[in-house]
Structure 1
Amino acid sequence: MREITATGQTVEEAVETALAQLNTSKDQTEITIVEEGKRGLLGLFGAKPAIVKVKVKPSTIEITVDYVKTILASMEISAEIKVEQKGERQVILHITGEKMGLLIGKRGQTINSLQYLAQLVANRHADPYITVILNPENYRDRREQTLTQLAERLASKAIQLHKPVKLEPMPNFERKIIHTALAGNKKVQTVSDGHEPNRYIVIKPSS
């Protein structure tokens, strides 16, 4: 967190000096007035400068990363986090280190739960709403490939049996992968059913 102390003939002047040095705006900072300042006799004798401390507020991403690091530490997982920002609405936290299997959990349940919590933390401070994706050791890329293959296999099964095929419950962002994978398949249609957090996809033959 960046913080500086600045002086000026007035508080306003000291604040402006600090903002210029930090290259930020007033609404992105926390300002503490250390000394109001004193003009002195005839504006000269006995004058004291105004002194302020100006601290840059942590960004939404910084807050989210700190939260994830705190959770990892509580799980005794040593890891590094690299941030990838895609536009204004999506942030991917690439996580590398030991015990990634523990972090991912069975069928991704642990990482999905942590991702849900991280997204709640991020969107307490974000405007507009942002999507946070936690990607330990490229798990999300591997999971997307697995889900795409699963979608294609179960679509073939639904066509062959002429019956709907129900998938296991999965989070919204994973359901989107299934929908997208089969969007071009005219022989089936996909619908989401059930209620969160147990919402699932049904693949239905089109005819």
Structure 2
Amino acid sequence: MEDPMSLQEQSTLVVEFLDGLLDAFDLDADVYAERVDDETMEMRVENVQGVGLLIGPKGNTLRAVEDLSRMLVQRKSDGNCEGRIRVDIGGYRERRRAALEAFCEKIALEVRDNGAERPLEPMNAADRKVVHDVVAEIDGVSTVSEGQEPRRWVVIIPD
């Protein structure tokens, strides 16, 4: 059995893919890899004009680009790779996370104060985790996930 493809090898592959994608869209940008932790590497696309084209509505195009990047790594490594690869374009993920955290905190405080549970819109697993993490830090409220993928949502409930 071969050694798993390292995060560095994966990141090189994905950076080349992203460079090619940008060329295909005739977009000029900086693409680089940044280690997030021992098991995660994030490919960042910065200084891109027309960033909205690559992010898409509610980040759907960005998620598709990330899925394609992961499929490329899986195919080139025969599924034998270590760690996780993420893709961010123009800082979208961090801005989305910060906005979601602020929104959830506001809603959680409202739920705590008025005692009425509040369902949120359906969201992906990563966004649901943000909601659960933010609300867990606030006394007097908690969360539950409901529904079936891909339309699963979080309900913020008073304790």
Asked whether the two chains share a fold, i.e. TM above 0.5, the reply is yes
Choose between structure 1 and 2: higher strand proportion: 1
When the two structures are superposed, what TM-score results if normalisation uses the length of structure 2?
Answer: 0.79
Cα separation, partners in 2 of 1:203 and 1:91, compared to 1, 3 Å: same
Q: Distance in 2 between matches of 1:186 and 1:123?
A: 42
Cα separation, partners in 2 of 1:198 and 1:70, compared to 1, 3 Å: farther
Question: Among residues 8, 19, 29, which one is paired with 1:69 in the alignment?
Answer: 19
1:149 corresponds in structure 2 to 102
Q: Distance in 1 between matches of 2:122 and 2:18?
A: 25
- Greater alpha carbon shift after TM alignment, 102-111 vs 90-99: 102-111
Q: Distance in 1 between matches of 2:144 and 2:72?
A: 30
When the two structures are superposed, what TM-score results if normalisation uses the length of structure 1?
Answer: 0.63
Root-mean-square deviation (CA, aligned residues, Å) is 2.3
**Matched positions, count:** 150
Which structure has more relative contact order (CA 8 Å, sep 6+)? It is 2
1:85 corresponds in structure 2 to 35
Choose between structure 1 and 2: higher helix proportion: 2
2:147 corresponds in structure 1 to 194
Unaligned stretches of 5+ residues in structure 1: 1-26, 29-57
Q: 2:11–2:43: 8 Å Cα contact kept in structure 1?
A: no
Unaligned stretches of 5+ residues in structure 2: none
1:22 corresponds in structure 2 to none
Identity of aligned residues (%): 26
Question: Among residues 114, 122, 129, which one is paired with 2:65 in the alignment?
Answer: 114
Letter aligned with residue 183 of structure 1: A
Letter aligned with residue 103 of structure 1: L
**Deviation above 4 Å: which 4+ runs of structure 1?**
none
Question: Which structure has the greater CA radius of gyration?
Answer: 1
